[in-house]
Amino acid sequence: MKRKLKISIATLLSLTLFAVTLSGCDKKESNETTENKVETTAGDLSESETETEEVVGKVAHPQIEYSYATKEEGIEYLISNDGYYDRFTQNDLDYKAQKIGANMEEYTEFAKEQVLDFTEEQKQAIDEIMNYIEVRLEEEGLTFPEIEPIVLISTTQKEECEPAAYTHGTHIFFNAEYMANPGTGIYAKLLMTHEIFHCITRSNPEFRKEMYKLIHFTVQDEEFEIPPSVLEYYITNPDVEHHNSYATFTINGEKIDCFTAMITTKHFENEGESFLDYMTTALVPIDGSDVYYLPEDASDFYDVFGNNTGYVIDPEECMADNFSYAVIYGIDGPQGQGYESPEIIKGIIYYLK
């Protein structure tokens, strides 16, 4: 999932799904939850400094095979994700259906109403975005791992509290009007590349393992069980199909192996509330204890996740952001300004070379 661009293009590099990188801020002492970071203005980049030259021309051998779903096809794709809906909590249903005590039938009907057809103008604009990514790959000599064909689906995004995009398998759901709007600018390219990363990790489990290693996460075969205290506030993220990776965090001076989960700081109460405004990261010990910690409880939280992005709700999302930076901005970053954690970008590019 990626959140819509709500701040100026000047903060583009640091903008992530629900948060921006805390460039120029003390990450290790921050007590902000992720939603507060969305409003943070990171650094002093001017609009001209974040602009990149438009790529022209078409590549001879594109790496990404994709197609557009009709509204009817999109509805079928959306409601076929039983594994995703089976993980829904009441917290999910209430926020996503915008109703206290909502049930799955109500949510499903609401979700189906959000699917749209693409216009030809939108398709043309999105083709240009995909071509931009292809040209960047060719320019940098990068090769994506094997990836199954991608299906693009347009929705209002209200079914997920209006982020900019999310995925199921190798289906990318997004608001085509927003994506195709020229005002979305370079963020549209970053957004699409972020979502493509999720498609690649599902097509290539070994690629996922190697990417997670770059931020100190180990992927195991078995899934971790989410304890009751976390489930009460848990939000199911369509981009995160597995909770089977963990990293070691220093919490109260003790080294604790934890996996991550997306939770809200409160339950849904009133129509118009979005879980995106109340979300944070739960660090859940892998020993099975019914307890969780917040990012501010771990003194080395950003030493683990790195400092390139504030979207640290899960290693999958953190690496999707880093991946999009590596592809779109390259090793030197936007306008050659580099990264706070360049080793992550270098690792991604080394793998793709």
Q: For the chain, how long is the longest CA-to-CA vector?
A: 57
Q: Rounded to whole angstroms, what are the CA distances from 147 to 62, 65, 132, 322?
A: 12, 8, 18, 19
**pLDDT tens track for 243-255:** 999 999 999 999 9
Q: What are the pLDDT digits (tens) for 180-215? A: 999 999 999 999 999 999 999 999 999 999 999 999
Distance CA 124, CA 121 (A): 5
Provide mean pLDDT across the span 56-61: 77
267 contacts 91 by C-beta, under 8 angstroms: yes
pLDDT of residue 56: 58
Q: If you average pLDDT over residues 162-174, what whole number do you get?
A: 97
Q: Which of 12, 17, 3 is nearest to 316 (CA)?
A: 17
Per domain, the residue ranges of the chain are 51-214+321-352, 218-302
pLDDT for 1? 82
Of 188, 60, 138, give the one whose Cα is nearest residue 330: 138
pLDDT band at 40 (very low <50, low <70, confident <90, very high): very low
What percentage of the chain exceeds 90 in pLDDT? 82
Structure tokens at 316: 């999958």
Vertex 344 angle, CA 297 and 258, to 5°: 30
Q: Please write the tens of the pLDDT for every residue from 264-311.
A: 999 999 999 999 999 999 999 999 999 999 999 999 999 999 999 999
**SS3 for 289-324, per residue?**
CCCCECHHHECCHHHHHCCCCCCCCCHHHHHHHHHH
The answer to whether 262 touches 313, Cβ cutoff 8 Å, is: yes
The predicted structure's pLDDT at residue 21:
30
- Which pLDDT does position 6 carry in this prediction? 46
Residue 160's contacts (CB-CB under 8 Å, 6 or more residues apart) are: 1, 96, 166, 173, 238
Which SS3 state, helix, strand or coil, does residue 215 take?
Answer: coil
Question: Chain-wide mean pLDDT for the chain?
Answer: 88
Q: How far apart are CA 326 and CA 214, in angstroms?
A: 13
pLDDT confidence of residue 192: 98
34, pLDDT greater than 80:
no
Mean pLDDT of 2-24: 41
At a CB cut-off of 8 Å and minimum separation 6, what does 166 contact?
1, 2, 157, 160, 172, 173, 174, 195, 237, 238, 239
Residue 87 has pLDDT above 60, yes or no: yes
In whole angstroms, what is the distance from residue 257 CA to residue 237 CA? 22
pLDDT the model gives residue 5: 56
